[in-house]
Amino acid sequence: MTEPLILEPVKPADACVIWLHGLGADRYDFLPVAEALQEVLLSTRFVLPQAPTRAVTINGGYEMPSWYDILAMSPARAISREQLEVSAQRVFDLIEEQKAGGIDASRIFLAGFSQGGAVVLHTAFVKWQGPLGGVLALSTYAPTFNDELELSASQQRIPVLSLHGQYDDVVQNSMGRTAYEHLKQRGVTVTWQEYPMGHEVLPEEIRDIGVWLAGRLR
């Protein structure tokens, strides 16, 4: 297992963002974003884990970094729940490592793009029980959210920033909106923002993320 990329801040770390990349990318994908955010978040550590390389069914069985296998795209994504659970446990373990290192759980944030976002949403609202600083859900969806989803009081207190492209043809805007609605209906403080983009990240979006994080790390 490849070790996460860890970016230490200029000041002693008192907060942490664990950021998961998307399908086919790697732990370096969001390195420039983390470096840009650290110019504002001077005491925030960034942990960028690497997904294992495995065969992805919808891509003809081609092997690539993937948090879980996607078996089919229609009518809704069919995924390997077992592999998703393993990836969520890895995030769970990273949270515990940061706590053991002295970072309070209320100052630990989970962020994920696309498939990585699906993992952090599952981790925060299905698996994790306890405080968290918040969740950043970028161009993503929630394959394990359904009408039976029940959140604990601590999960309801986890704030979420959902960001999505208006022209996303990989993870449709409506899929991100559905995840947002699930959380909103269950009392989560969740903000929806969309941008004139496809399945990507814009500088304006990164600035908005920096403002959101800074507001919660005062």
* 43 among known catalytic residues: no
Please confirm, yes or no, whether 29 is among the known catalytic residues.
no
* Pairing outcome for strands 44-48 and 15-20: parallel
Question: Which of these is catalytic: 14, 43, 106, 199?
Answer: 199
- Residue 165 near residue 176, CB atoms below 8 Å: no
Identify the DSSP state of 10.
Answer: S
Angle between helices 31-38 and 203-216 (to 10 degrees): 50
For every residue of 165-190, DSSP letters joined together read ETT-TTTTHHHHHHHHHHHHHTT--E
Three-state DSSP state, 141: coil
Whether residue 199 lies in the annotated active site: yes
Spot the catalytic one: 21, 66, 168, 182.
168
- Closest listed residue to residue 123, CA positions, set 155, 160, 88: 88
> Could you say which of 114, 122, 139, 162 is catalytic?
114
Q: Are 9 and 31 in contact (CB under 8 A)?
A: no
Runs of H (alpha helix) within the chain? 31-38, 81-100, 115-122, 153-156, 173-185, 203-216
Active site residues: 114, 168, 199
